[in-house]
Amino acid sequence: MKDIQSYIDKNKDRFVQELTELLKIPSISADSDYKKDMLKTAKAVKASLENAGCEKAEIYETPGHPVVYGEKIIDKDLPTVLVYGHYDVQPPDPLELWDNPPFEPVIKNTKIHPEGAIFARGACDDKGQMYMHVKALEYMTHSNELACNVKFMIEGEEEVGSEHLGWFIERNKEKLANDVILISDTGMISKDTPSITTGLRGLSYIEVEVTGPNRDLHSGLYGGAVGNPVNILAKMIASLTDENNHITIPGFYDKVEDLSSEERKKMAEAPYNEEDYKNKLKIKDVYGEAGYSTLERASIRPTLDVNGIWGGYIGEGAKTVLPSKAFAKISMRLVPGQDWKEITALFKKHFESIAPDAVTVEVKPHHGGYAYVTPIDNPGYQAASKAYEKTFRKTPIPQRSGGSIPIVSLFEKELGSKIILMGFGLDTDAIHSPNEHFGIWNYLKGIETIPYFYKYFAEMTKK
């Protein structure tokens, strides 16, 4: 890898330019209005794989959005790395809170990113992090230093629960055969504190609809006598957590695997300052489950968050209406031991059971996924750790993340290999938020680090 640094220096403007072009396409998987843009993005990804050195790159139709597959097989006897990423992005709203249009990328310097950061939806999650792997392959092809076979599986439904990726994997197990799965869709603690994500939370995402009267009513003529679905939905949501912010759904915690006090002590050693944490978010206080630290609440404990709520009149001014319906999108982050399908069923049963006769309730399970934990003693983790040591001159910290990549646990189950989560984003990159961005330093550092993973993984797994 002698000349990787100079190769990156020579090409970094192009690397940024190419990513910028990819970010201009609004690949919003949740919104069917963007179906065309999804396909356009898939085609762009396919082309980039071919340019980077894949002998074969194809777009595979699924019942949902297509999957882009590419591969470069150099030697059947070498280990094979399967790179997973996604080209779809979260919806950008609320649009009014963006400083630039979410699909018109802008480069700006920030305190954390003096070298500049690319501001756009998907800049970090996951177009930017996915594209690091494409550019790393370009370097390894160019310098003829590719040490493993490589396969890419870039999907378009991660932000909506990877609904059809399982369908694709089932039908392509052989094609996808690999020795390790490499993913950059997580973050690291800070630019000078590299970390590798060793755990992810599971997810159960649900939409509820509460119906009261068959039409919107005048709140004067009926108010007080007819159940108001918004008031009742508020009561139902409020009752899902108790005064200690424990979740009250019967059986919810039954299968939670608690960490040993040993493990919790180790977690507590990670660098963290609660004052900084609060100041960054401009909150007077944190808020969560009694008996757990902020780091624990955000990683090893399950949660219940309302992601969206709406009902009645939400326009300008006043409307004295007693609405017919109220809605909420509710998601639960789950931890190892919890089965998301079982939790979804428990939620449904409980939520229906607490509805008063004044309303009817419909609970629509949306999507979900299992939590995941990687052991740190396998060659994949060790190779990643060594790669960070090489480029950051520091041993990365193993860290459980609160996020979810619902499909990860399925990879291990279906393809039998370990998943290594090498993330180069930062918590402050505002993924899923307005003004999402990705530091150019982080982007290039990822491109520099990834080739070492291939090198060390090949060495460690040599037969």
Burial of 257 (0-12, 13-18, 19+ CB in 10 A): exposed
Residue with tokens 């982080």: 442
Cβ at position 143, least distance to a second copy in Å: 36
Our CA dihedral for 39, 45, 48, 49, rounded to 10 degrees, sits at -120
Which residue do the tokens 């424990």 mark? 246
Residue 136 or 322: the one with the smaller Cβ distance to a second copy is 322
- Of the two residues 82 and 232, which places its CB atom closer to a second copy in the complex? 232
Comparing CB distances to a second copy, the nearer of 86 and 301 is: 301
Q: Measured from the CB of residue 224, what is the shortest distance to a second copy in angstroms?
A: 4
Nearer to a second copy, 359 or 397 (CB): 359
Distances (CA, A) of 387 to 97, 192, 390, 403, 427: 38, 15, 5, 24, 22
Tokens of 392: 């950051």
Report the residue number, 27 or 303, with the smaller CB distance to a second copy: 303
Sequence-separated (6 or more) residues with CB below 8 Å from residue 260: none
DSSP code string of 145-183 = ---SEEEEEEES-GGGT-TTHHHHHHHTTTTT--SEEEE
Least distance in Å: CB of 410 to a second copy?
Answer: 17
Least Cβ distance, residue 306 to a second copy (angstroms): 4
Compute CA distances 68 → 73, 169, 367, whole Å. 17, 12, 22
Identity of the residue, 160 or 458, whose beta carbon is nearer to a second copy in the bound complex: 160
> Pick from 75, 47, 41, 77: which is nearest to 138 by CA?
47
User: Nearest distance from residue 404's CB to a second copy, in Å?
Assistant: 5
The answer to whether the bond into 94 is cis (omega within 30° of 0) is: yes
Q: Would you say 17 or 272 has its CB closer to a second copy?
A: 272
| Cβ at position 305, least distance to a second copy in Å | 5
Per the structure block, which two tokens stand in for 352?
A: 């229906």
| 133 touches 54 (CB < 8 A) | no
Least CB distance to a second copy at residue 12 (A): 28
